[in-house]
Amino acid sequence: MHDESTLSRRGLMAGAGMLAVTGTIAATSGTQTASADGKASSKGRVHMRPEYHFSVPDNWKNDPQRPIYIDGKYHYYYLYNADYLTGGGGTAWRRATTRDHVVFRDEGVAIPKFSNANGDCWSGSVVVDEHGTAGYGKGAVIALVTQAPEGRQAQYLWYSKDRGRTFRPSGTDPVLPNPGVHDFRDPKVFWDEARSRWFMANAEGNLLGFYVSPNLRTWERVGEFRRSDLGLLECPDLFQMTADDGTSHWILGTSANGKGRGLPATYAYWSGAFDGTSFQPDEGEPQWLDWGFDFYGAVTYPHHKKDGTEDPSLRRSIGWANFWDYPHNTPTLVTDGYNGDDMIVRDVRLKRGDGGEYYLASSPTAALSNHVKRTHNLGDVTVDGTKDLNVMSLAYDLTCDITWDPASPPANVGLEICRAPQGGRHVAAGAYLKGPFAYVNRKPTVNPTGGESQTPIDPSSGRLKLRILVDRTSVEMFIDDGRIVHSHRVFPLGVDDRIRLYSHEGTATFKDLKVREIRVRQGK
């Protein structure tokens, strides 16, 4: 997902925007200054690196690459620019490993940028070639990636003989040449077990091209999936899942931009049928894995059982906590010398809705509960107006059921999180029952741009189940079973650690209210 068109995205990875970010820090804290090398001064230094979300060790990260399971660990690759702070361009593939999807160990660069004359490597996908079809032996790790020599995007094969630690190019010619289109990137490859061949979905402007191959080297175009109302399609995804009713379904996903129609610009998906060459969606309109402003370039990957086999009923997803409208607008450049976080890894399950439709339900990955450092069990809290909690934290997992009388509902219920000691700055998360809609509103705090995300609710139900993850640079709100999620970048100050409950023009009860403080020591 590196378009030279809107906002010159390749140029965006060269480190522009430092002055704007420095201005943000100066305006909000008045204590931080940037030196000539882009690093924060030690005087009055405030750290903003998240406590439990994945973040790049230094400089820049953007696109996640689909994690792959090798030797009992998940290997997570992402695009990385070590020269970002000094204004250098290009992206390498950096690797981290995890066993629980919460604690990640940095493993360094797997594919250096500008490794050959074809330029740096952009997004793609990694597979384990169990049958040795590509000619590098059984179990070789193969990466299909986009490179763009002379600006012409095409797909190239790289291989690893050390279990994914480092990769080498397989020649200089593309395995999937560009047929003459501007956008031709982000190949997503998987082994089609039913047909004993490889399948690729490739992003090509307003369509996804479908290709098959016996050996990862020669590809035949067999179909496409076209949409003209979701902007530029990027980072495709295609996988099969078993739903909660035992039936099996295919899911096609892509990073898309529906803002022109009042829809998100995150991960759009359809349930449907796949016959090896084409995908037939169940419905015309997509569903969305996230309704917030910052869940782009997301990927999903399968869960593996202890014996190494895949569990078709559970996948995980990870998304870039940023968006191309404001990729450089983060104070962490000044406070911590880096720009690049991910939203929390999610456990994703396929469920059957009341109307017979199938949808993906997300929850923060289960192992997050292993990193709770302190729990505040606040019980049932009834509010008519506002109530400040005696809990102060910058990183936590909050859960509750908000209930009200459907015959006499309040106008507005929710929580002010990331709240300043004297009020003013905060993020509002809750439901405007007169709308009626649930929302996350980041307008009242320091944020990149934009304001409030909204999704419809039914006030007559008399309840809203919320799970809200707060970390130093993000807020994620999961509603009910996680069919709806709102993910946002926010930049509260270090003192903005208060929580306020509110119920305006009526009474609501925050049932079984819990705040779990979280801290994770990421591996080095």
Q: What's the gap between Cα 241 and its chain centre?
A: 20
- Joined tokens for residue 47: 């750290």
In single-letter form, the type of residue at position 325 comes to D
Among the listed residues 344, 266, 346, 343, the one whose alpha carbon sits nearest the alpha carbon of residue 300: 346
Maximum CA extent, the chain:
70
In single-letter form, the type of residue at position 31 comes to T
| Residues pairing with 169 in the sheet | 158
CA–CA distances in Å: residue 32 to residues 113, 266, 282, 420: 32, 32, 52, 19
Angle (CA) 189-195-199 rounded to 5° is 15
* DSSP H/E element including 19: helix 18-28
Sheet-wide strand order for 310-320? 296-304, 310-320, 346-352, 358-364
| DSSP string of 406-463, one letter each residue | TTS--SEEEEEEEE-TTSSS-EEEEEETTTTEEEEE-TTS--SS--EEEEE--GGG-E
What is the DSSP code (8-state) at residue 343?
P
192 carries an active-site annotation: no
How many Cα atoms are found within 13 Å in the side-chain-facing hemisphere of 293? 22
Strand 463-471 versus strand 59-64 pairing type: unpaired
Which among 3, 37, 63, 100 is annotated as catalytic? 63
CA–CA distances in Å: residue 188 to residues 155, 300, 421: 11, 11, 47
Strand 287-288 versus strand 296-304 pairing type: unpaired
Q: What beta strand segments (E) does 57-173 contain?
A: 59-64, 68-70, 73-81, 92-98, 104-111, 124-129, 140-147, 154-160, 168-169
Among the listed residues 222, 233, 12, 203, the one whose alpha carbon sits nearest the alpha carbon of residue 124: 203
28: buried, middle or exposed (CB in 10 Å: 19+, 13-18, 0-12)?
Answer: middle
Give the catalytic positions in this structure. 63
